Structure 1
Amino acid sequence: YAKVFTACVVAYAFSPIDLIPDFIPILGYLDDVILVPIGVMLALKMIPKSILTNCEVKAEEMMKKGKPKNWIVGSIIVLIWGLIIIWAIIKIYRLIN
C-alpha cells in the first residue's frame, strides 16, 4: 500500500491535472505547495523504518562511489540539442530574409 500511495503522490506531482487549476491565482499553486509535501510526509510514515535505513545506507555507499556517468547518452542528448538549435537558427534566418 505504501508503494501505491507513493506512486499516486508522484503521479499527482507530475500530472498536468490538478485539484485546483493553476490558472486560478494563488490557489492554483497553493494546492501543489501543500498537498505534495503532505503526501511525501505520509508516504515516508508508511514505509517501514528498516527499509528507510537500508535505503539510506545504500544511498551513502552510492555517494561515496560517485555518480555513474554515461558519456554515450550524454553525447546523444547534446547532439540532439545542437541539431535543434541549428534548425531554429536556420528557420529564423529564413524568416528574416
Structure 2
Amino acid sequence: MNAPPVKPRGVFNIFSRNPTVGLRIARTWMVAGSLIALLGLAMSVAHFGYGVAIENNDTGLPATTDEVLLTTSLLGGGGLLFVTLGYFLRRKLLGQKRSG
C-alpha cells in the first residue's frame, strides 16, 4: 500500500493516471458549491425580499439584519469558492489529459 501524496504535485500525478476520479471530484465540488450558493441566495431573497424572519439558534430570537447578511454572504462565498475550485481542477485535469 502506497502512502498518500503530501504535495499537490503528487495529487495531480495520481489524477493524471486516472483522470475520471479527479473529474468526478471536480464535478461534485461544482454541484455542491452551486447548491450551497443557491441556498444562500434563497435565504437572502426570503429575508430581504419577503421579510421572512430567520431565527438565531443561540438566543432563540429573530436574527438581526447584519447576522443574516453575514450568514448568507458566507454561504454564497463558500459555495462559489467550491464552484471555482472544481472548475480549475477540471480544467487542469482536462489540460493534462489532452497534452498526455
TM-score, normalised via structure 2 length: 0.36
**Rg larger in structure:** 1
Determine which structure has greater relative contact order: mean sequence separation of CA pairs < 8 Å that are 6+ residues apart, divided by chain length. Answer: 2
TM-score, normalised via structure 1 length: 0.37
